[in-house]
């Protein structure tokens, strides 16, 4: 038996240990964030396991379909949403949740409320679910000033106010990438331990990248500056070699590759989607937070993403949370 190797494995930096270490540097910390994160991690493990079994368990396909036993099937994204909502509510650390799967925000029962607002896409990359291509969960976390009087206005904060963000990619390995505002770290799920282990400490996006990533099928609807930029990627005029095109169509996977290999990922606004296709609260803000924390940049085309005001999402009639 290789005792040296075993001893090495007992010194693994798990995600919980990592967050506890970060927490111990802040004397005011009460451990709430660590508890919240452990519930997010549980959700990710649950979804990772469901994604792995999807083909076998016939979890793929349309919601509402029945399986051979006559049981109603839940589509993976519906199941993932339920998993995260339950995990986040039961953490006792959230007061409001915004999910891509739910039309309305979920205001947590006053008895179970904590200080955090979590905006998330439980399973992004829906077009890739049924063919086994990488998909992922994206989340962004805000702190709410007054948890007992939380309203929708509290949720519609610009990305620069975000406290932490991350994603979990369910691909050839399951990788959770997290930033709490002091850099970006990547953790890979060790299935034999059931733990996320720090495998990518302090991720920095390479200064130069050779890849551009965009759905070029939309090119006919792009505006002139976007079309010109992509043209330059393919036909550079400065003598540099053309860039390679890589596009998965799962934002988590495309952003993950961009973080590790460098380059640019874009989903430009076009005639069909004047505000772009990606959802700002639970897709664009968290990913931009991570990009900037890794030394990269993120723009809407007009300004830094984190400074985008959310007035266009704000309906005058604000919905109040039920209070205690
Ligand atoms: P979804 O939330 O319905 O899964 O859509 C979001 C996804 C992103 O992951 C990805 O970047 C984009 O949609 C791909 O869109 P398209 O298929 O138009 O290229
Ligand atoms: Mg999505």
Q: Is the CB of 215 under 6 A from ligand 1?
A: yes
Ligand at shortest distance from the CA of 249 = 1
Q: Is the CB of 251 under 6 A from ligand 1?
A: yes
Ligand at shortest distance from the CA of 125 = 1
pLDDT in tens, 219-255: 999 999 999 999 999 999 999 999 999 999 999 999 9
**147: Cα separation from own chain's centroid:** 24
Q: Is the confidence at residue 8, as pLDDT, over 90?
A: no
Burial string for 61-92 (b: 16+ CB within 10 Å, else e) reads eeeeeeeeeeeebbbbbbbbbbbbbebbbebe
Helix (H, G, I), strand (E, B) or coil at 292: helix
What DSSP state is assigned to residue 320?
A: B
Q: Which domains does the chain have, with CATH numbers?
A: 3-200 (3.30.540.10), 211-322 (3.40.190.80)
To test the pocket of ligand 1, the residue of 276, 277, 284 to mutate (highest count of ligand atoms within 8 Å of its CB) is 277
pLDDT in tens, 213-222: 999 999 999 9
Query: What percentage of the chain exceeds 70 in pLDDT?
Result: 87
Cα separation, 109 vs 87, in Å, equals 14
What is the distance in A from the centroid of ligand 1 to the CA of 195?
A: 29
To test the pocket of ligand 1, the residue of 80, 81, 168, 215 to mutate (highest count of ligand atoms within 8 Å of its CB) is 215
């Amino acid at each position: 038996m290789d005792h040296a190797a075993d001893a090495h494995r007992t010194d693994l930096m798990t995600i919980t240990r990592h967050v506890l270490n970060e927490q111990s540097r802040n004397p005011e910390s009460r451990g709430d964030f660590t508890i919240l994160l452990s519930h997010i991690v549980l959700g990710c493990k649950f979804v990772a396991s469901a994604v792995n079994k999807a083909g076998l368990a016939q979890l793929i396909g349309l919601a509402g379909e029945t399986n051979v036993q006559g049981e109603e099937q839940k589509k993976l994204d519906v199941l993932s949403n339920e998993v995260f909502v339950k995990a986040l509510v039961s953490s006792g650390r959230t007061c409001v949740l915004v999910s891509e799967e739910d039309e309305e925000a979920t205001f947590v029962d006053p008895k179970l409320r904590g200080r955090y607002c979590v905006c998330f896409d439980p399973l992004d990359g829906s077009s890739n679910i049924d063919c086994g291509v990488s998909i992922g969960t994206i989340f962004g976390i805000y702190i709410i000033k007054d948890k007992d009087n939380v309203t929708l206005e509290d949720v519609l904060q610009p990305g620069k106010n975000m406290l932490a963000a991350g994603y979990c990619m369910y691909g050839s390995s399951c990788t959770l990438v997290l930033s709490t505002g002091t850099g970006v770290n990547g953790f890979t799920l060790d299935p034999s331990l059931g733990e996320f282990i720090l495998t990518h400490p302090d991720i920095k996006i390479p200064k130069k990248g050779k890849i551009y990533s965009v759905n070029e099928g939309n090119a006919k609807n792009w505006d002139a500056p976007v079309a010109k930029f992509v043209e330059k990627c393919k036909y550079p005029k400065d003598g540099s070699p053309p860039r390679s095109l890589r596009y998965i169509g799962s934002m988590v996977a495309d952003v993950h590759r961009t973080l590790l290999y460098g380059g640019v990922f874009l989903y430009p606004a076009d005639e069909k989607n004047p505000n772009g296709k990606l959802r700002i609260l639970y897709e664009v803000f968290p990913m931009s937070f991570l990009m900037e924390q890794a030394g990269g940049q993120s723009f809407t085309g007009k300004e830094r993403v984190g400074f985008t005001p959310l007035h266009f999402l704000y309906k005058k009639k604000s919905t109040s949370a039920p209070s205690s």
